[in-house]
Structure 1
Amino acid sequence: MASQKIAYRSAIVHSVADPKDVGLDDSYQYFEDGVLVVENGHIVDIGSADDVLARQPKHITVKVFKDKIITSGFIDTHIHYPQTGMIASYGEQLLDWLENYTFPEELRFKNPIYAHQVATLFLDELASNGTTTALVFGTVHKESVNVFFEEAEKRNLRMIAGKVLMDRNAPDYLTDTPQSGYEESKELIERWHNKGRLHYAVTPRFAPTSTNEQLATVGQLLKEYPDVFMHTHLSENKKEIEWVLDLFPERESYLDVYDHYGLLHKRSVFAHGIHLSDCECQRLADTDSSIAFCPTSNLFLGSGLFNLPKMEKFNINVGMGTDVGAGTSFSLLQTMSEAYKIMQLQQEKLHPVKSLFLATLGGAKALHLDDKIGNLAIGKEADFVVLDLHATQLMRFRMKQTTNLEEKLFVLMSLGDDRTVSQTYIYGKKAYDIHGETPKAQIAM
C-alpha cells in the first residue's frame, strides 16, 4: 500500500545553516503558520500554510497543532545508554566517578535481559525528550550492543552505537583483549552497520583504558570499514590529560595518541574537548573530525568550560551531547540551557538560533548525516518533534510576554524539558505522545 500523504499545520522553525557562516537571519526558516507535508517517511513539502495547501491535493489529511511549534528532531552526539541507571550519582569527578559508579553498573549489562530492559527505557526516554538520533556508547559486552540495535531497529530509528573497547586500567570483569575486541567489533559491524537506519561506531572508551595494541586494532577496523564511525572521549578533565601523557610519553598530546593510530577521520566524534591546544584544534579541523559539546556533564563533574568560539575559529564541526549518565538530563532543551550558562561564564553569548542549530543540523553535520537528517528540508527523513509553547503554567505566562521568534526559542530552551515535547515523529510515524499513547518500559527491581 502506498503511504498516505499527511500535512502537519503549526508554527514551524528549522535550521538551514550555521549562523557563523551565513548570519543569524539566513540560518533558519520560520513559518508562523506553516505546513509540513510527509509521505513515505520523507518530507515532501514545507512552507507557509497558504502556499503549501494550494500546492497539495484538496483532500489531503491535515493535522493542526495549536500553541505548538514543529522543529527537526534533536540529535544527541554523545550519550551512554548503560549509564541510565546511575544518572544523578553524587559527589565525584571523572576518574573516581568511573571507578565508583560507572564500572559497577556496566557489569550488569553482561545480562542481556537487563541490557534489553535498559535499552527499551533509554529509547523511550529519548523519544519523550524529542531526540530522534543519538551516538551511543554500549558496554564492553557484545550483547549490550546487539540488544540496543535490536530495539532501535524495531522503532526504525537512525541510531549509531558501538561496543566499548577497554583492555587495561579497568576492572577485570569489564576488560576485553585487542584480539577479542577486534573480532567482536568486526562481527557487530557486519551485522548492524548500514542495516536499515543503523550505523556502527568503533568505540574505545578513552586512551587510558586501551593499550597501544588495542588502539592499533581500532585503526585497523577504520581502514577495513572506512564508512563506520569512531566514538571516544578527549580532554575532558585535567587529571585525565595528565594520565594520558604519563601512559603515552612518546606522544605529543592527548589527541596525538589517537592520531598516531589513525583514529581521526570524517566520522570521528570526540566527546568534550574542553582543554585543547591550538595545534590539536587544527588537527581536528584538518581531518574533519567532530566534537560533542556536553555542557550538563561538564558542569556536573566539574570538568571545565567548553570554548565554542575557539572551535568555530578552527571550523570544527560541533554537535550537542547530553552525556547521560554524567549528564543529568536526557533533554536537549535543558542541555541548551546549560550551554548558554557555560558561554556566559566565559563572557560569551549563545544565541537561541545557534543553540537550535547545535542540537539539530549542527549535530547532523558533526555526524556527516546532514544529507538525511538535521532539518526539515524537502527530501530529508521525517524525524521531527512538536513542542508545546504552553507546556507549563509558567511557560504559558512567559510566552505572552514574548514579541518575536528568538524570544520564544530562548524561553523554550530556558524553561523547557520533557514536558515541552508534545509528540515525536520517527520517519513520518508518531513514536511518542505526551498523552500516553506510547508505552513506557518497566524495569525489574
Structure 2
Amino acid sequence: MSLVVRARRVVLPDGERAAAVHTEDGVVAAVSGFDDVPAGAVTLADDEVLLPGLVDSHVHVNEPGRTEWEGFATATRAAAAGGITTIVDMPLNSVPATTTLEALRAKREVAAGQVAVDVAFWGGAVPGNVEQLRPMHEAGVVGVKCFLLDSGVPEFPPLDDAGLRAALAELASFDGLLVAHAEDEEVIGAAPEPGGASYAAFLASRPPAAEETAIGRLVSATRDTGARSHVVHLADGGALPLLRAARAGGVRVTVETCPHYLTFAAEDVPDGDTAFKCCPPIRESAHREALWAALEAGDGGQPVIDMVVSDHSPCTPELKRLDVGDFGLAWGGIAGLQVALPAVWTGARARGIGLAEVARWMSAAPARLAGLPGKGAIAVGKDADLVAFAPEERFTVGRLEHRNPVTPYAGRELTGVVRRTWLRGQEADGSPLGRLLDRGGR
C-alpha cells in the first residue's frame, strides 16, 4: 500500500513547513516538496496541520480482570480518535498485574486482534519479583513500573527502599528502565485523612512534600545504582529544583507530567466533583505554571520535564462516587486519553507555544522513553503514523470512546480537533488495525 499526504503545514523533526509525506508499505519513504506528488495524493485543508502520530506511554487499559473499567478495544478506539497511534499499557489495574512473564503473556493474548492502534507493554516491579524483571525485559516490555506507596489495588504492592534498590540494581545489569509513582507513604500517613466533599481537604491529604520526599529517594537510589529511572505524573512544582540538580549531576532520570495538571488548578475544582480526583492531586495554579515553565526550558535552556502523557486511569462511575461526592471514598484517576492533545494544545496555544513543541512532548519524547524507534516523528524509515489536526477549531467535550467516560473535561471548551488519523498509512477508524509491539518496535 502507498499513501501520500501533503499539507501547507507539516510538523517535521527540523521544523514546520509545507511538504508532502510519501509512504510505502506503512513506512515513510520520502518527504518532498508540497507540489511533488502523484495523482491521488491526499491534500489537507488549509486549516489543518499534519502531525506525527502521538505516543502515550502511560495508559491503564485494565484488561483482563477489570475490563468493566476499560478495555483494549475501547481504549485504543479513544486513542485513535485523539490522534494517538501508540499506547503503552501500564501493569496495573488488570488482574493479574503484569508482574510475571506468565501475566505478560496473558495480557498480550487478550489484547491480540482487538486493538485499533499499536500497543506496547510495561511490566511491574513489586516485592519478591526481582527474578522476573530480566525475563519480562527479554520478552519485550519497555520497562517496569513500581509504586513507592500503596497503589490502591492489592495485587500491586509498593517497594520499600530495599526493594527499590534491588530492582534498580537488577535493571542496571541490562540497562532496563524503572518508572515510579513517587509519593511517600510516611508523609501522607502524617497528613490529615481525606474525606467528604471538600477538595481542599483532599489536597491537604497528599501534600507536595510527599512527591518531593519520594523523588529524593528515587534520585538517590538511581544515582547509587547507575540505573535509569523515570518519574511519572509529576504534579508538584516544588520538586523541579531537585530534578534539575539531579539531571545536571548526571543522574539518569527523566520526567513526565499530564494534561490534567497542565489544564486544571485546585482553586477551580468544585467541592464534591470527584471526577477530578487523581493521585498525586491536581494542585494550585502556581504548580501548574511551574510545570509549563519546566516543559519549555531550565538551566542552560534544557527542559526539566521531558514529556506529557495522559495517565488515563478510568473506572466505573460507581467507583467515582459521584453520588455522594466524597473524595476520600472515590477512586483516584483521570479519564482523558481521547482529549489529551487538544487539552495540551489549548494551554500551549494560550502561552504562545507552537505545535512543534507539543509534538516533541507527546510523540518524540515518549517514543524515545519506551524504546520505540519507529515512532515519534514524520521521517524516512519511521512508521507512517500521521494526524490531520485543525489547531484553531474549537469544540465542547461531549461523547468519548472510553468505556466509562466520566471525566473532568466533560463540557469544557477546548481548541484543536483531530480530523483524521493514519496508522502505518491506513486510516485509523477504530477497527482493529493495531499491532502488539515489543521494546524496539518489533
Report the count of equivalent residues. Answer: 340
Q: Which residue of 2 aligns with 1:72?
A: 52
The alignment yields a C-alpha RMSD, in angstroms, of: 4.1
The sequence identity of aligned pairs, in percent, is 13
Who is 2:41 aligned against?
62
Partner residue, 2:244: 281
Shift in Å, 1:156: 9.1
Q: Does 1:432 align with 2:429?
A: yes
Q: Which has the higher helix share?
A: 1
Deviation at 1:14, TM superposition (A): 1.0
**Paired position in structure 2 for 1:201:** 143
Tell me: CA distance 1:297–1:183, structure 2 relative to 1, closer, same or farther (3 Å): farther
Flag the structure with more relative contact order, 1 or 2, with Cα contacts below 8 A and sequence separation at least 6: 2
Match of residue 387 from structure 2: 385
Determine whether 1:296 maps to 2:274.
Answer: no
* CA distance in 1 between partners of 2:352 and 2:420 (Å): 30
Instruction: Using the TM superposition, give the Cα deviation of residue 202 of structure 1 relative to its aligned residue in structure 2, in angstroms.
Output: 0.8
Q: Partners in 2 of 1:129 and 1:393 — Cα distance?
A: 13
- Cα contact 1:70–1:385 (8 A) shared by 2: yes
Question: Which residue of the partner structure matches residue 324 of structure 1?
Answer: 312
Residue type matched to 2:312 in 1? V
In structure 1, stretches of 5+ residues that fail to align are 18-27, 83-108, 167-177, 194-198, 395-412, 440-445
Distance 2:261 2:240 in 1: 21
Question: Aligned with 1:374: secondary structure?
Answer: coil
1:422 aligned residue (419, 422, 441): 419
2:268 is matched with which residue? none
Question: What TM-score results when the alignment is normalised by the length of structure 1?
Answer: 0.63
1:127 equivalenced with 2:106 (yes/no)? no
Residue of structure 1 in register with 2:291 after alignment? 307
One-letter amino acid of the structure 2 residue matched with residue 324 of structure 1: H
What does the per-residue CA deviation read over 1:29-63, in whole Å, with 9 as the maximum and x for residues that have no partner? 221xx42111122111123332x32xxxx6x6533
Query: What displacement does 1:124 show?
Result: 1.8
* Cross-structure match for 1:173: none
Q: Secondary structure at the match of 1:386?
A: strand
Flag the 1:426–1:153 CA change in 2: closer, same or farther, 3 A: farther
Alignment of 1:12-91 (within 5 A): 12-16=9-13, 28-31=15-18, 34-50=19-35, 52-53=36-37, 61-66=40-45, 68-82=48-62
CA contact (8 A) 2:9 2:50 kept: yes
Match of 2:179 among 215, 231, 250: 231
Q: Distance in 1 between matches of 2:210 and 2:242?
A: 20
| CA–CA separation in structure 2 for the residues paired with 1:393 and 1:317 | 28
Distance 2:395 2:216 in 1: 50
Which residue type is aligned with residue 46 of structure 1? V
Instruction: Call closer, same or farther: CA 1:393–1:334 in 2, change over 3 Å.
Output: closer
Distance 2:298 2:234 in 1: 17
1:296 positional shift: 0.6
Q: Distance in 1 between matches of 2:419 and 2:106?
A: 28
Q: Secondary structure at the match of 2:428?
A: strand
Normalising by structure 2, we get a TM-score of 0.63
Aligned-pair distance for 1:383?
Answer: 1.4
Q: 1:324, CA displacement in angstroms?
A: 1.7
Find out whether 1:372 has 2:374 as its counterpart.
Answer: yes
In structure 2, relative to structure 1, the CA distance for the partners of 1:225 and 1:142 (3 Å cut) is farther
What amino acid maps onto 1:161 in structure 2? F
C-alpha separation in 1, matches of 2:180 and 2:415? 29
